[in-house]
Amino acid sequence: MHMQDDAPHDASAAPPALLLVNLGTPAAPTARAVRRYLAQFLHDHRVVQLTRWLWCPLLHFVILPLRSPKVARKYAEIWMEDGSPLAVHTAALATAVGARLPGWQVRHAMRYGEPSVATVLAELRAQGVRRVRVLPLYPQYSTTTTTSVEDAVAAAVPGSGLQVQLRRDYHLDPGWVAAIAERIRAHWQAHGRGERLLLSFHGIPQRLVDAGDPYARQCEASTAAIAAALGIARKEIVLTFQSRFGREAWLQPYTQQTLEALAREGVRTVDVACPGFAVDCLETLEEIAMQNAEAFRAAGGQALRYIPCLNAAPAHADALAALARTDAGWS
Ligand SMILES: C=CC1=C(C)c2cc3[nH]c(cc4nc(cc5[nH]c(cc1n2)c(C)c5CCC(=O)O)C(CCC(=O)O)=C4C)c(C)c3C=C
Ligand SMILES: [Fe+2]
Ligand SMILES: [Fe+2]
């Protein structure tokens, strides 16, 4: 995607900008704030493809009232002093990347909630920026996430005077792969190697993969690249998918069921990393490190050792800054 306003300006003189876009998160761990967040998220046709007349009543009268208080309690368990982990870590990551790109304006925005993509792009423009590189913080491309960011950018750019380039994925970027591998290696050095290494990616409906979404293929390719960077065989990694939403089939094998099966087979320790998440969030800190860890123990396992996301680690910031500087891969 290349979006360019038709204003006749010389863009080369103005400082370039990098906009890191993450999913978004509630403003507070309350049912009211979660409801507001989920309402925006779940109205996105990239996320839920049901027709409005069918989906809207179900969403407004069943899903939002029932799910919001339940999910708010989960957010409350992981909330940090400065806010939701996803927001805190995304802001810290943008600061770390900015420190590596002198002369660039580096900002972050959220697809749902604040700060919105439109607001931050408008602020950048007001500060004299002409050229923006938008990097969705999803290493693996999916229509449900990356294309949704493209939609938000496409809605904000016309008439803004901004030249925008977007990077669709970085699932095989050597800097990113090395950073993930180093994270796992450091965990092994600190805690010893568990009996299994499991990589859990966020799922999407199988229906979307069947329709051509490359997400599953990219998760598999990332996993093979991480295995190679760790110097282990691909078959030494268990690849699973988490966070199923709704009743239709999602990508399989499912993370929790796999962990329970491993425990029943006698596996006592599992190291779990979530390389599809740039930063820690509800789906890693609550679902994996708390809920799935408990399920693993309940099925007879001893310890699920969660390996945190890259967050604002130097190697992560180095990798994203290098992506921003490199002209190839942007369109
Ligand atoms: C990493 C990539 C992600 C993909 C792909 C993805 C697809 C996807 N998600 C939902 C529904 C929900 N996801 C929720 C939380 C959530 N999802 C991602 C990332 C991806 N989602 C993140 C980083 C988070 C955490 C946000 C945070 O605040 O910490 C939620 C909200 C929580 C809940 O109600 O359970 C929903 C809902 C669908 C339907 C989908 C693909 C179709
Ligand atoms: Fe609606
Ligand atoms: Fe999600």
80, pLDDT greater than 60: yes
Residues near 147 by beta carbon (within 8 Å), at least 6 away in sequence: 46
Instruction: Work out the average pLDDT over 192-217.
Output: 98
Residue 5 is predicted with a pLDDT of: 47
Ligand 1, atom 8, residue with closest C-alpha: 204
The predicted-structure confidence for 88-132, as pLDDT tens digits, reads as follows: 999 999 999 999 999 999 999 999 999 999 999 999 999 999 999
pLDDT class for 12, splitting at 50, 70, 90? low
pLDDT class for 211, splitting at 50, 70, 90? very high
286 is in an annotated binding site: no
CA distances from 245 to 33, 205, 242 (A): 20, 9, 9
174-307 folds as Rossmann fold (3.40.50)
11, pLDDT greater than 70: no
> Does ligand 1 have an atom closer than 6 angstroms to the CB of 104?
no
* Rounded Cα gap, residues 176 and 240, in angstroms: 20
> Does ligand 1 have an atom closer than 6 angstroms to the CB of 31?
no
Q: Let me know: does 48 contact 245? Beta carbons within 8 Å.
A: no
Ligand 2: centre distance to CA 42 (Å)? 9
Q: Let me know: does 179 contact 313? Beta carbons within 8 Å.
A: yes
Ligand 2: centre distance to CA 55 (Å)? 7
Instruction: Work out the average pLDDT over 237-246.
Output: 98
Residue 6 is predicted with a pLDDT of: 41
Residue 9 is predicted with a pLDDT of: 45
**Mean pLDDT taken over the chain:** 95
* Rounded Cα gap, residues 67 and 65, in angstroms: 6
Beta strands in the chain (DSSP E): 2-4, 17-22, 105-110, 131-136, 163-166, 196-202, 237-242, 269-273, 303-307
The predicted-structure confidence for 281-313, as pLDDT tens digits, reads as follows: 999 999 999 999 999 999 999 999 999 999 999
Residue 8 is predicted with a pLDDT of: 41
2, pLDDT greater than 70: no
> Does ligand 1 have an atom closer than 6 angstroms to the CB of 78?
no
Ligand nearest to the CA of residue 245, numbered in listed order: 1
> Does ligand 1 have an atom closer than 6 angstroms to the CB of 199?
no
Residue 10 is predicted with a pLDDT of: 46
The predicted-structure confidence for 172-195, as pLDDT tens digits, reads as follows: 999 999 999 999 999 999 999 999
Q: What is the ipTM of this complex?
A: 0.96
- Percent of the chain whose predicted confidence (pLDDT) is above 90: 94
Lowest mean pLDDT among 154-163, 271-280, 306-315: 154-163
* Rounded Cα gap, residues 331 and 91, in angstroms: 25
Ligand 2: centre distance to CA 54 (Å)? 10
Using a CB cutoff of 8 Å and minimum separation of 24, what contacts does 182-191 make?
182/315, 183/273, 183/307, 183/308, 183/310, 183/313, 183/315, 184/226, 184/230, 184/271, 184/273, 184/307, 185/230, 187/271, 187/273, 187/305, 187/307, 188/271, 191/271, 191/305
Ligand 2: centre distance to CA 59 (Å)? 7
Domain residue spans of the chain: 31-78, 174-307
Residue 237 is predicted with a pLDDT of: 98
Residue 3 is predicted with a pLDDT of: 57
